Chain A
Amino acid sequence: MRTILIVDDDLELCALLADYLRREDFEVQLAHDAETALARFARDQHPPDLLILDVMMPGKDGLTALRELRQRHQLPVIILSARGDPADRVVGLELGADDYLSKPFLPRELLARVRALLRRGSAGSDEPLSVGLLRLQPTERRAWVGETELKLTGAEYSLLLALARQAGNVVNKASLTEEGLGRPIERFDRSVDVHVSRLRRKLSTASALAPGIESVRGSGYLLTRPSA
């Protein structure tokens, strides 16, 4: 059974959400502030499979907690926010969240995204893949540029894999959203753009010779094949 940790200061919402997810056969743990949640990650040998994190909490807020968490853990994270501020979404994704939902959300939609993030990576071929200096090992969900291993979140890894499989070709944003985030694209959905810009940065930091990701206006992105 997959374990989900919910971190939200809204106790009633936590209780309802836990009921809902348990009914869908998930094991649910609760924490009501960021410190408690981070302490649990530090202590537990078996971290949860997925984290649902509220942005606005007293004490340490969700985004700060996410930044700290990402230094050690790459588990899928879904950000929840009731502020309805579009900047929250971008910041959350920038900090390494895999997906973002604003409150109030449709419970079925949350469920679909949880399942998509947990299922990710199980599809497709498991053959190792390389584009120039970039190497991907799908069975372990790990990636390297030369000898440097890239520290990627789940969503970033999936996007990179999708782009690498069709290196040199444009992959449109709709299918990148499907493959990277495991859900259909929405109108004004900039999630993929944010993930891609993080991915670009990580690639170029690893090596100046790493393959680049180009954006093609109105259609999508492509991973450039080295000309040599």
Chain B
Amino acid sequence: MISALVMGRIARENYTTLTPDWHDLASDTAAIYDAAGIDAVASWARPLQRRGIQIALLENGRNLLMSPLPPPMEDSLPRLMRDSEIILHPKSDVTLVGLDVVSGDRTLRFLAMRAPPRGAGPRFFSPRGQLPMLIEILVSLFVIGVVSWLIARSMGKPVEQLQRAVRRVAAGDLSARIGAPLAQSKDELGQLARDFDHMANRIESLVERNRWLLRDISHELRSPLARLQLALELGRGEAQSTVQPYFERASREIVRLDELIAEMLALSRAEEGAAGMAPEAVDLAEMARDRLAEAQIELDNRGLKASLDAPETAVLEGHSVLLGRALDNLISNAIKFSPAGSEIQLRVAALAQSIEISVEDRGPGVPEAELPQLFSPFYRGSNGLRANGQGLGLAIVERIVQVHGGRCLAANREGGGLSMTLILPVAAKA
């Protein structure tokens, strides 16, 4: 459409700018006829036609070119033949020319007509100025604008719908689908919508299966442990006192194995992230107060003190079960490594974009070189020998913090002890 307008413009431009010399044109035509015959004249006429000029060559009133004369020429034929040289303007933009030309020993009548190219209406044509061109540009721009707006609108709505579904899945709602009518449409966006729905189905079933698998593994591993524990206890009742310590030891190992299973399941749950769970508002200040209160019994047993420095509220978007677990693990670690009578310091700080939680103890700390590996699964530092944990606690913490888009920092404190800091963004990770 646009190119048609532009081409029409160019054709009319040519028409207005090139005014041929009719005498030259007539003698050229005659010379061609003389040298190469009427067929050559026909091929010579074709490019002229594209410039809006039609020619004819008559001998004794008979048209040598076999094509019929164009109507304006036909209509004015008697007048065109009257003088040896005549120029007529039947309309303002049409020029008719009649000339006698000599070709060899014959005298031929050369006729020519110049009119605007077909398709370009005379209304648009004006040789006078640039104003119509400006209008045409404005019209073109307007048409371009309307067409683009229509295209953008027809794409924009489905894209927005796709975007909403993608965001819902990213936010944990695995049941989000695009569905009809977009997923039924035949174009590329419809295809994309179907692909998205297919992908969402697959993710949802994988997550679901993974969750079941975790439960089943737990069940299948723990049932035999429960039987083993009972069998040991029964055996122990019959056993002599000299073997009692071995029974005791075996029983303890079962407990450790069970803890290890629990930790690995917890890690796996954290790795799975919060898939399928929508984030909720979690008040970390309140959580810190609760968890510290929970730990009070253990603190008392170990003869430890604890202090909490937290604002009234510190709310972020997250998963309270996972964050509670992370905080528990940090507090447990601090208790485990603290010497009797020392103090554990818990701090919650609400910053503009993030919330920082730190747990600091007066334990032995960790050699600087080992700090980076502290969060690796099953890693036990040279200082960690007396810890009877499974080496997964901090790996779980790190994984949970990553799921929330945050990070963990571990540092040795001045004056001894370890400081663990979690930096969590306030807004849920998209």
| A residues whose Cβ falls under 8 Å from a Cβ of B | 10, 12-13, 16-17, 19-20, 23, 56, 82-86, 102-108, 174, 185, 187-188, 217-219
Contact = CB atoms under 8 A, between A and B. Distances in A.
Contacts of A103: 222-223, 225-226
Contacts of B262: 84
Interface string B279-298: 00000000001101111111
A188 B295 CA distance: 7
Interface in B210-259: 215, 218-219, 222-223, 225-231, 233-234, 237, 251, 254-255, 258
A8 B295 CA distance: 34
A174 B300 CA distance: 12
Contacts of B294: 187-188
B218 A16 contact: no
B261 interface: yes
Nearest to B222: A82
B173 interface: no
Contacts of B292: 218
A106 B298 contact: no
- Counting chain B CB atoms within 10 Å of each CB, the highest count among A12, A86, A104, A188 belongs to A104
Contacts of A187: 294-295, 297-298
B317 interface: no
Given A16-B230, A188-B328, A218 B223 contact: no
B265 interface: yes
Main secondary structure, interface of B, reads: helix
A82 B223 contact: yes
A218 B255 CA distance: 29
B222 A174 contact: no
A217 B289 contact: yes
15 contacts: A10-B226, A13-B223, A23-B234, A83-B215, A84-B218, A85-B218, A103-B225, A107-B229, A108-B233, A187-B295, A187-B297, A188-B294, A218-B293, A218-B296, A219-B293
B300 to A, nearest CB: 10
A189 to B, nearest CB: 8
A218 B296 CA distance: 8
Main secondary structure, interface of A, reads: loop
Contacts of B295: 187
B424 to A, nearest CB: 22
Nearest to A110: B230
Contacts of A102: 222
A83 B221 CA distance: 10
A219 B289 CA distance: 12
Given A187-B297, A188-B294, A104 B228 contact: yes
Interface in B165-220: 215, 218-219
A106 B297 contact: no
Contacts of A12: 227
B289 A218 contact: yes
A86 to B, nearest CB: 8
Given A185-B297, A188-B294, A104 B219 contact: no
Contact of B226 (A56, A82, A83): A82
- Counting chain B CB atoms within 10 Å of each CB, the highest count among A12, A56, A82, A174 belongs to A82
B143 to A, nearest CB: 63
Contacts of B293: 217-219
A86 B228 CA distance: 23
The 4 closest A-B pairs by CB, nearest first: A218-B293, A104-B225, A103-B226, A104-B226
A108 B255 CA distance: 13
Nearest to A84: B218
Nearest to B292: A218
Contacts of B265: 84
Contacts of B229: 104-107
Contacts of A10: 223, 226-227
Given A23-B234, A23-B237, A103-B223, 4 more contacts: A103-B225, A104-B226, A104-B258, A187-B294
Contacts of A82: 218-219, 222-223, 226
B409 to A, nearest CB: 26
A104 B233 contact: no
Nearest to B220: A82
B207 to A, nearest CB: 16
